[in-house]
Amino acid sequence: MWNINVIARATSAGRTYWQYDFRIELPDGTPYRERRKARGATSEAAARQVGMRRLQEVLRQGPKAKRKPETDMPTVAEFAKEWLELCTAERQRPATLENKHFALKNHILPILGATRLDAVDDRAIARFKRERQGVAAGTVNNSLKFIGAMLRCAKEQGHRVQVPSLKRLPEEHEACWYTSAEYQKLIKSAQTYGSAELALVLLAGDAGLRAGEISALRWEDIDFVNRILTVKRNLVRKHEGPPKGKRERKIPISGRLDAALRALHRRAEYPRVFALPDGRDVASSVLRGWFARIATYAEVPRHGLHALRHSFGSRLMLSGAGAQVVMELLGHAHLRTTQIYVHAEADHRRSAIDRMMLLDQS
């Protein structure tokens, strides 16, 4: 078995890059050593893979192996496997990897799989868009993003490819959210089902948790004494990891959420706040199913759990909380993301003008 050493180096500007270093004996018995920068590698595992590919190339073609001729250019389907291996080696989030697998299998490979990497040009991208006309713009844009990432990776690996124009399709972002009156109906509806359903609605509407964060929530994350809830994990497709943005956040617990959680805690049997009777995790898709029934009984639109996060942000902003506070409670890294979640009802817009006029008169 060949031994490949990987070394982290630093540039004069303080940036880190990776080198691979190996020693082998060529087929004619000549000892050979090579130490080079692992181009395109952003982690130790990725650098080791670059070194292994180079080692195998030297064994096949010799130390002075030239760049691959055009006839050896891989197709999109062939390179996709290598790209996914590199993404895995870089320890990308399981949900991200599954999204890439899904986009490749269902959208990219059926159209571009047999296309050579150097033939993925503007015409190929135009063809991809034409053949995906019946697909949502967001799905197409997601696939375009992955095509670009794969081509850039191929270029870093030494393939002579160019990244074409990947102009995104226009998307209509119509944010769904619940009014205060609708939210009160949801709470009343949840109460008719039980403490678990009530806690679900309040965790999204009074604390702004995402569905995956609710699935991952453990009793140890809740400080009943100080009424603080710490969001420190996310559960997506059976994979537990840090919350989106990889930052923990602490959220004060409202009085009614505290009461709902205490009622649920009194009969808790497992570490998770939400668990199936046999102790297995409750997937976020199951929680969304619960919420759909609650919304149907409440006779309000079935916008989904995420709409309660929008409502949470809106109610915070309208109650006078600053944008920075709302951003931190929602767990956003950028204020522009928070602004998408904030909506104003007509009555609140009118009261804002009335408050301004009162200030002018004082």
Is 310 an active-site residue? no
For the chain, give the number of residues: 362
Per the residue annotation, which of 54, 309, 310, 315 is the catalytic one? 309
Per the residue annotation, which of 20, 178, 183, 341 is the catalytic one? 341
Long-range residue pairs from 218-223, CB within 8 A, at least 24 positions apart, any chain: 218/271, 218/272, 218/273, 219/265, 219/268, 219/271, 219/272, 219/273, 220/271, 222/253, 222/261, 222/265, 222/273
HEC secondary structure over the chain: CCCEEEEEEECCCCCEEEEEEEEEECCCCCEEEEEEECCCCCCHHHHHHHHHHHHHHHHHHCCCCCCCCHHHCCEHHHHHHHHHHHHHHCCCCHHHHHHHHHHHHHHHHHHHCCCEHHHCCHHHHHHHHHHCCCCCHHHHHHHHHHHHHHHHHHHHCCCCCCCCCCCCCCCCCCCCCCCHHHHHHHHHHHHHHCHHHHHHHHHHHCCCCCHHHHHHCEHHHEECCCCEEEECCEEECCEEECCCCCCCEEEECCHHHHHHHHHHHCCCCCCECCECCCCCECCHHHHHHHHHHHHHHHCCCCCCHHHHHHHHHHHHHHCCCCHHHHHHHHCCCCHHHHHHHCCCCHHHHHHHHHHHHHHHHC
Per the residue annotation, which of 210, 249, 272, 343 is the catalytic one? 210
Per the residue annotation, which of 48, 54, 332, 343 is the catalytic one? 332
Is 332 an active-site residue? yes
Per the residue annotation, which of 53, 145, 152, 244 is the catalytic one? 244
Per the residue annotation, which of 145, 227, 306, 348 is the catalytic one? 306
Is 309 an active-site residue? yes
Is 244 an active-site residue? yes
> Which amino acids are annotated catalytic?
210, 244, 306, 309, 332, 341
